[in-house]
Structure formats: C-alpha cells, structure tokens
Amino acid sequence: MNLDETPILRSSDKRRLTIALAKGRMQGDALRLLERAGVRVCDEALASRRLAVEDESGRYCFIFVKPSDVTVYVEHGIADCGVVGRDVLLESEADVLQPLDLRIARCRIVVAAKPEAASADCGMLHVATKYPRIAAAHFGARGVPVEIIELSGSVELAPVLGLADCIVDLVETGRTLEENGLVVVETIAESTGRLVVNRASYQLKAEAISELIDALGESLQEKSMGKAV
C-alpha cells in the first residue's frame, strides 16, 4: 500500500465523511447505489488494492473492511458512516444509528436442518452458527434449550457430519443449503444492507450526513419507481 496516497482519515473537517463499506457482496451494490446518488469512486482506485480511497469530489473517504468490522469502525467514530447488513447489526448489538434501509444484498437469516430432523422433538438442540447471539436470542425466546457451536465458515457441513442438529445462517438463494441436503425450517429475520451512522458524527457533521441520507434516499426512490414501471 502506498502510504502517500492513503487519504487522511479521522479528519475533523465537518464537510468530509469517512464511510466504511463491507467488503464482498455488499461493496459492489453499495458503490452502485452511491454512484446513482452522485458519489463516484474512480475505477482505477477500486481496481487497486488500497483499502482506503477517496471519491472523485474528495468529500468522501471510503474504507473497505470485513462486514463485522464495519460496526466496530462506526461505533468508535473512526468512520462516520458505514454500509453493512442487518445480520451483522443484530449479531454485534452495535450502538449505532440506522437511518436508511438501502434494500441491497437482500437475504434471510434462517434455521436450516436435514429434512428428516426438521420436525424432530428433542430436549436439547445443538446449533452450529456464525451468529451465536442471534441464535441464542431466537431459541431463548421460545424456551428451547440449545448448545451453540460457534463456527467461522462452511456452517452447512455441521448437520451433515453430525456436529449439530441444525444451523442458523444467512441464506440468499438457498442453493448452498440445497446442495448440502438441508432445508429451511424457519426464517428468523430478513436482512438487507443498512446505512449506519456514528452517534457523535450524526450531531457534529449533521449537514454532511443529512445530505448523504437525502441523496441516497432519493436514488432509492428512483430505483423503486423504475422497478414499478
């Protein structure tokens, strides 16, 4: 990384915003939405491996981080805003503002299991998941005793290999589940990309942030109108 070209973060300039974007699926969708809202990042900067880039106007600085780190940067105020899935927000219980549902990267948090196990009654469920808090809250609300087995990937394998009775995971199309012989038992929550804002930035950079929210809100409206036509 060329340090000279890394934009200065943590600027106290009230007109400048630092925005944390979740890498991966969310990133492309978010950047397209931002572009419609008039915030463009040049392709060259995106193609580079830099983790912090500026938009063309120089008013926004983007940092690209792991989805679960977006809330960390925003909660600490290092980033003023962020774009992250609701799944991450529910899991992290981050204390951030969520002014806008961006309706991108739509997916569901579900309970899935092998078809034969789906309806089985048992005294204690073994649940494998990347979302221990969401899973514990979901089963806790129903009074089902569970043992949460925290995994960091390939959760679908757990029921197949007998590590767990079911999984709590994020599902977009359901193909991975299907290919591993699992079915959705129930949906816990819908998840879409959200604009999140640091509490202090919301007050201290009020103008810049409400400008961004308005611009994004308008481009969302245009998008949904376009779909309706």
Partner 1 sequence: MTPEPLSKIPGGMRYYFGAEARLRRALEAKCMSVFDGWSYEEIATPSVDYYALFERGMGHDEAHRAFRFTDTDGRLLALRPDVTSSVARAAATLFAERTRPLRLCYAASVFRQRARSHAEWRRESKHLGCELVGAGSHEADIEMLVIVAEALEKLGLRGECRITLNHVEIFNGVAEHLSLDQDAREEMRLLVDTRDDAGLRDFLATRAASSSQLDAFSSRLPRLTGGREVLTEARRMITNGRSLAALDALETLWETIEALKLSDLFEIDLGDTSGLDYYTGLVFKIYVVGAGTRVGSGGRYDELTANFGRREPAVGFVLDLDALTDVLARNESCFLSLDDGYISSIGGVDATRLFKEAMRRRANDERVRVGLEMKRHSMESSDEVEAPSDETATRRDREVAE
Rounded CA separation 37/212 (Å): 8
Rounded CA separation 115/150 (Å): 22
Residue 190 lies near partner 1 (rule: CB under 8 A): no
Residues in 90-129 that interact with partner 1 by CB under 8 A = 92, 94-101
CA atoms in the 13 A half-sphere facing the CB of 34: 28
Single out the segment in contact with partner 1 by CB under 8 A; choices: 41-49, 150-158, 159-167, 200-208: 200-208
Rounded to a whole number of angstroms, the minimum distance from the CB of residue 95 to partner 1 is 4
Rounded to a whole number of angstroms, the minimum distance from the CB of residue 201 to partner 1 is 8
Residue 32 lies near partner 1 (rule: CB under 8 A): no
Binding residues for partner 1, rule CB under 8 A, total 28
Q: Which of 75, 118, 132, 137 lies at the binding interface for partner 1 (CB under 8 A)?
A: 75
Residues in 10-29 that interact with partner 1 by CB under 8 A = 10, 12, 14
Residue 72 lies near partner 1 (rule: CB under 8 A): yes
Q: Are 78 and 8 contacting, i.e. CB atoms less than 8 angstroms apart?
A: no
Residue 38 lies near partner 1 (rule: CB under 8 A): no
* Closer CB to partner 1, 77 or 174, in the complex: 77
Single out the segment in contact with partner 1 by CB under 8 A; choices: 47-55, 70-78, 120-128, 136-144: 70-78
Q: Which residues bind partner 1 (CB under 8 A)?
A: 10, 12, 14, 71-72, 75-78, 92, 94-101, 197-204, 206, 210
